[in-house]
Amino acid sequence: MGFDYIHDPLAIERRSFEMIRELTDLSRFSTEQHQVAMRLVHTCGDPAIVEQIQFCGNAVQAGLAALDARAPLLCDVEMVRHGLTRRYLDSEAHCFLHADGVPERARATGETRTMAALDAWRPLLAGSIVLIGNAPTALFRLLEMLQAGAEKPALIIAMPVGFVGAAESKDALIDVAAALDLNAITLRGRAGGSALTVSALNALARQRQGELY
């Protein structure tokens, strides 16, 4: 028994984004922001998620400029690093979760490994793109570092997920972004995850290559 479905991957993607435009209210976003918002809808399959998307500062323009400059990509977990579409990127992606000394430092201080790993970000922070897709504690630690005078990344894409601290960490990001003039893309509430964080970055990378939907 056969099934009637589209085989061509390009046709599938093209039709997907046609449907997203039909089903999603993008009116509060700029034309440049549309590409990120639609990619997030595509990733989770839910047009309602656009109500939670928040762009801070000149996030899209800053992200595109940082990609042009081959800015380092700082990832909180390996799932984020491995989800990046490498054919669109010239930047090097880093995740220090398993770096020497990180597990030991986390145990000694009683904090999460994602928090302990951020010490290794300091030399790379200036002009970087930060990608946090899992750990609210990593986002809180990053904000503490920035408030204490750490170098500013060009863009923060942070969509940690969960029931403890996730929504609060993203609300804090929005507040700190306004206070420190940071560029950020986030997703209010408990929803999030590595796939959504990666999809936002990949949307910028595709846009940089002229691939628009």
Would you say 35 and 61 are in contact if contact means Cβ atoms under 8 Å apart? Answer: no
> Known catalytic residue: 82?
no
Three-point CA angle 194, 206, 39, nearest 5°: 50
Q: Greatest CA separation found in the chain?
A: 64
Dihedral, 27, 29, 31, 33 alpha carbons, nearest 10? -140
The token pair at 36 is 């990120």
Quickly list H helices, the chain.
9-23, 31-44, 59-68, 78-83, 102-109, 113-117, 136-147, 166-180, 194-208
Distances (CA, A) of 31 to 3, 36, 153: 37, 10, 24
CA 199 – CA 18 distance, rounded (Å): 18
Out of 7, 34, 42, 94, which one is annotated catalytic?
42
Side-chain half-sphere exposure of 27, counting CA atoms within 13 A: 3
> Which residues are known catalytic residues?
42
